[in-house]
Structure 1
Amino acid sequence: MTERVSARLPERAEAELLDLPDGVPVLSVLVVACDASGQALQVSDVLLPADRQELEDTYRLN
């Protein structure tokens, strides 16, 4: 699984949909889950208001 999180200012339509005031950034979270051969099984692309989020990831180390 690969997760990419980036921050940016929203496009006008995105800000309207999320009811964001001017200047509030968004977090773009792209997650791609692949099988052992590298074939993508699931893709999630989520846009979150950055001022309302807390992200936490836990990874098992072997």
Structure 2
Amino acid sequence: MNMQESTVSARLPDATERELLDLPDGVPVLSVLVIACDASGQAVQVSDVLLPADRQELEDTYRLN
């Protein structure tokens, strides 16, 4: 069975991240890590994204069986 795992966490950015994202002091970031695996469990795609938390809205949809 193919699988995707997502982890979202919030934290304050370091100085370099704050500068790259043009964030004022005190604005947190969301760290989003997504790992997609094939049927054997081998990772086939990894995404690691850092987002300014004050500019995002996250939405998930799940199928319930």
State the match for 1:40 in structure 2.
Answer: 43
Q: What CA RMSD, in Å, does the superposition of the two structures yield over aligned residues?
A: 0.5
1:58 matched to 2:61? The reply is yes
Give the SS at the match of 1:37: coil
Alpha-carbon offset, residue 36 of structure 1: 1.2
Within 2, Cα distance between the matches of 1:12 and 1:31? 24
| Equivalent residue letter for 2:44 | L
| Equivalent residue letter for 2:53 | A
| Equivalent residue letter for 2:22 | D
- The TM-score with structure 2 as length reference comes to 0.92
Percent identity for Structure 1 against Structure 2: 84
| CA deviation string 1:36-60 (max 9, x = no partner) | 1110000000000000100000011
Give the SS at the match of 2:23: coil
State the match for 1:11 in structure 2.
Answer: 14
Equivalences, count = 62
Runs of 4 or more above 6 Å deviation: none
| Equivalent residue letter for 2:52 | P
Structure 2 gaps of 5+ residues are none
Alpha-carbon offset, residue 2 of structure 1: 0.2
